[in-house]
Structure 1
Amino acid sequence: MARTRRPAAHPRSAIFAPLGDEGRATRVEKRIAEAIYSGVLADGERLPSEPELAAMLGVATVTAREALVALRAQGLVTTTRGRGGGSFVNRPRHPDEAVLNGRLASTSNVELRDRATLYTVVVAGCAEVAAAYAGADDVAQLRELVPDEDVADPARWRHADAELTLSIAALTQSARLTRELVRLEAAFGSLVRLPFMDPAFRSAARGRQVALLAALEGGDGDAARAQAREHVAQSLAWLLEQKAALPGSGTTSDSGGL
């Protein structure tokens, strides 16, 4: 199966940007864990060696080693020895729709809107800034991430939408902004993409993705921001409607958490 080309600017570069003076093992661990949960680091992907990881992040080799030990303890990384060995990503299975519906039912409307508000600000901001930097080649590669209309697999749509969102963030050339989105994706991304189970939502979402890429190609930051905001707004509206129809969700409209 042919591999999809990745945009030249990729969120992976933000994950391995130097940590600076705060480069403790817990921060290395957290950054890599968030990258795994958000999908920036793919299942089975080989991580840099301990010395390479330490050099990339600007920390001591022992710090990188401690972080990898902690990630192995969480089951997020596996390490093999010998020729061809190394540390490899062991990404947890993506929650199925039953699990996500359970999380949705136990989340208050207030919490859901609050998380969506923060997510919107970051995603829309990334789209606006990326419009100033995106070149024709960047947009051409982003278009390859958008599934064809006849694709019916919700998981493929969710993965594509996450990849598109994170790749646009990488085009901002801001490692801090990209890492903030990675953090939000790890905490909220799977839920915000639950609506891709709905064929009507998928069709409308594809239209928004195409319009967003056209805005990026035209360097129109306002239009890019508007499309990104609308995409999250439609997802939130779908989630609230779905939540209202779920058994037992009526008792959690003002309490609970994600």
Structure 2
Amino acid sequence: MSTARITSVADAVLRPVRAGNAFEEAVEALLRTLRLGVVSAGDRLPPERELATRLGVSRATVREAIAALTDSGHLESRRGRYGGTFVVSPAAPSTELAPETAAALENVLTFREVVEVGAAEAAAKARHADPANLLAHQQACACAADYRPADSRFHLAIAEATGSELLINAVAEARVRVNELLDAIPLLPKNIEHSERQHRRLVDAIAAHDPERARAAMHEHLEGTAALLRGFLG
């Protein structure tokens, strides 16, 4: 694909991302360019400097996103005079879900957003919530060799802090649904590192009994996961 074509089409695809989840949304944007054929198999991506400008992020963030997609098999780096970052040819291994499951992605993300953001707010309002328990779950999550089950336990601990059995059941259902989707995409170390910072902000907001901050922290956290799911599976 010519540079001119990349430039004209990329304007509609590579748009500035939000600062809160810059890495995750940069990954989503790059995957979208591959899925839409803006850069085809065997073609070279635009330079890091151009991608950083288009996405409104630092070159370091672009470099981290490219490294993650290189590890996942979507991209490869070549050295030398004609080097750069290229889309893998033949096509990278597919992580696509069955069509009927992929069509339900937004349904699951909407359900999770409503339930878990509400749970974070309710936990911050609950005077009987135990911040030490939440912190213990957060620290266990940060150290876990098997990250996703520990992540689920942390989110369920937030629901338990609300004292509402119905809300606990709703969060558990949301986690079952979203974990089925997460199992279809790779674990990205940079995303885990970022998620743990967000987890700590959640614990701090709930411990401070600040429902607005807890809502905002959970919303930002879920949007990062949603960006990756949309990028890999959308």
TM tier, smaller: 0.5 to 0.7
Q: TM-score with structure 1 length normalisation?
A: 0.48
Alpha-carbon distance in structure 2 between the residues aligned to 1:118 and 1:210: 23
**CA offsets 1:104-150 (integer angstroms, 9 cap, x no match):** 77633x521221011110000000001011557x1112111224798
2:133 counterpart (116, 135, 141): 141
Structure-1 residue corresponding to 2:111: 118
Structure-2 residue corresponding to 1:74: none
**CA offsets 1:160-196 (integer angstroms, 9 cap, x no match):** 2111111111111111111122222223334247667
Change (3 A) 1:105 1:239: farther
Alpha-carbon distance in structure 1 between the residues aligned to 2:202 and 2:222: 13
- Is the CA contact (8 Å cut-off) linking 1:134 and 1:171 kept in structure 2? no
Structure-2 residue corresponding to 1:228: 218
Matched, 1:160 2:150: yes
Alpha-carbon distance in structure 2 between the residues aligned to 1:204 and 1:161: 13
Structure-1 residue corresponding to 2:101: 107
| 5+ residue gaps, structure 1 | 1-96, 244-252, 254-258
- Is the CA contact (8 Å cut-off) linking 2:159 and 2:167 kept in structure 1? yes
Alpha-carbon distance in structure 2 between the residues aligned to 1:170 and 1:150: 20
Q: How many residues align?
A: 142
- Is the CA contact (8 Å cut-off) linking 1:169 and 1:177 kept in structure 2? yes
**CA offsets 1:208-244 (integer angstroms, 9 cap, x no match):** 000000000100101111111111111010112223x
Higher helix share: 2
- Is the CA contact (8 Å cut-off) linking 1:158 and 1:196 kept in structure 2? no
Q: Percent identity?
A: 25
Structure-2 residue corresponding to 1:219: 209
Alpha-carbon distance in structure 2 between the residues aligned to 1:159 and 1:128: 23
What is the letter of the counterpart of residue 129 of structure 1?
A
Q: CA RMSD in A?
A: 3.0
- Is the CA contact (8 Å cut-off) linking 1:192 and 1:236 kept in structure 2? no
Alpha-carbon distance in structure 2 between the residues aligned to 1:193 and 1:147: 22
- Is the CA contact (8 Å cut-off) linking 2:95 and 2:185 kept in structure 1? no
Alpha-carbon distance in structure 2 between the residues aligned to 1:169 and 1:126: 5
- What SS class does the counterpart of residue 137 from structure 2 fall into? coil
Equivalent residue runs for 1:56-205 within 5 Å:
101-103=95-97, 107-108=101-102, 110-134=103-127, 138-147=130-139, 151=143, 153=145, 155=146, 157-192=147-182, 197-205=187-195
